[in-house]
Amino acid sequence: MTIKSNNAMNIAQVLTEALPYIQRFSGKTIVIKYGGNAMIDDQLKSSFARDIVLMKQVGMNPVVVHGGGPQIADMLARLGKESRFVEGMRVTDDETMEVVEMVLGGLVNKEIVSLISQHGGNAIGLTGKDGGLIRAKQLTVKQNPKKNEHVKPIDIGRVGEVTSIHVGVVNMLIGGDFIPVVAPIGVGDNGQAYNINADLVAGRLAAVMGAEKLILLTNTPGLLDRDNKTMTGLESADVDKLIDDGIIYGGMLPKVRCALDAVNSGVGASHIIDGRVNHAVLLELFTDAGIGTLIRC
């Protein structure tokens, strides 16, 4: 058999393996949180956009929620403003919030829309302000609360938490055969904008929409055990035990809790995958082995 024939057979095998997954997920909503290296490296950005377009082309309803921390930090540095963090969250005064809105709702959001369009998709960008999509309130933060139950809250400005999600505008876009691209900016009762963690927005959006899957792109292969091997096929009770045993800790905790909240709220499964891998989303969705950590209720 020639090399050309071998390549053709490999392609046929890939398509055959993907077919049952395409059939299973056709018509289903998949919420993807897009962030990390996948948003910085040009090749990874292109492969992500192609993945989203292919998902839509085969009948799925992808909804993209994106971050943009490095891009915000870069813009603040250009303006001579220092980035400050408390408990891993960016201190967001009024001036910083203006930059957050400009970067997330403008530069980053429109770049993603443009990339999807370049690969043949129809995407529309929006923030939580559009159509009242994300209602929010100021997040209350306590530093080291376990050490002192009476510690006073820390004011970190216009950092928000989701109070409610109203998906009418997203459903309208999906019904019009568009791919929604959501910037995680919420709006309060007084019309004030809030900067919200993109993982949390993606998880809540997936739950409210009754999504089949929530996919969180990270800069790690997934959840790792003590031997640095990727764990998969986990149930919520397994994850709770891994947290209690200290195997899951630090910066991965909020992401894992977001994934758990989603599956406990009715999302079919959550996936934590390595966004540094080309076509990571398709590899997780359409192959038997997958490439990351799958969490079910």
pLDDT at residue 140, rounded to an integer: 85
Contact assessment for residue 242 and residue 248, using Cβ atoms and an 8 Å cutoff: yes
Residue 269 located in a structural domain: yes
Residue 144: pLDDT band (50, 70, 90) is low
Contact assessment for residue 53 and residue 117, using Cβ atoms and an 8 Å cutoff: no
Q: Which residue has the tokens 């109203």?
A: 166
Q: Which helix (H) or strand (E) holds 74?
A: helix 69-78
Residue 3 located in a structural domain: no
Least confident of 4-13, 42-51, 185-194, 211-220: 4-13
Residue 156 located in a structural domain: yes
Residue 15 located in a structural domain: no
pLDDT at residue 244, rounded to an integer: 86
Number of domains in the chain: 1
Q: Which helix (H) or strand (E) holds 217?
A: strand 213-218
Residue 85 located in a structural domain: yes
pLDDT at residue 7, rounded to an integer: 65
pLDDT at residue 6, rounded to an integer: 61
Is a pLDDT exceeding 80 seen at residue 169? yes
User: How confident is the model over 24-37, as pLDDT tens digits?
Assistant: 999 999 999 998 88
Average pLDDT, integer, range 121-131:
96
pLDDT at residue 142, rounded to an integer: 72
pLDDT at residue 149, rounded to an integer: 60
Domain of 256: which CATH number?
A: 3.40.1160.10
Residue 33 located in a structural domain: yes
Cα angle value 102/105/110 (rounded, 5°): 105
The whole domain housing 61 covers 26-296
pLDDT at residue 291, rounded to an integer: 85
Exposure letters 102-117 (e unless 16+ CB within 10 A, then b): ebbbeebbebbbebbe
Residue 95 located in a structural domain: yes
Q: Which residue has the higher pLDDT, 78 or 140?
A: 78
Is a pLDDT exceeding 90 seen at residue 75? yes
Which backbone phi and psi does 48 adopt, to 5 degrees?
-65, -45
User: How confident is the model over 187-245, as pLDDT tens digits?
Assistant: 999 899 999 999 999 999 999 999 999 999 998 888 888 888 888 888 888 888 888 88
Mean pLDDT over each residue of the chain, to the nearest integer? 90
Residue 259 located in a structural domain: yes
Query: What is the distance between the alpha carbons of residues 245 and 249, in angstroms, rounded to a whole number?
Result: 9
Single-letter amino acid, residue 201: V
Residue 262: pLDDT band (50, 70, 90) is very high
- Structure token pair of residue 194: 């809030």
pLDDT at residue 211, rounded to an integer: 97
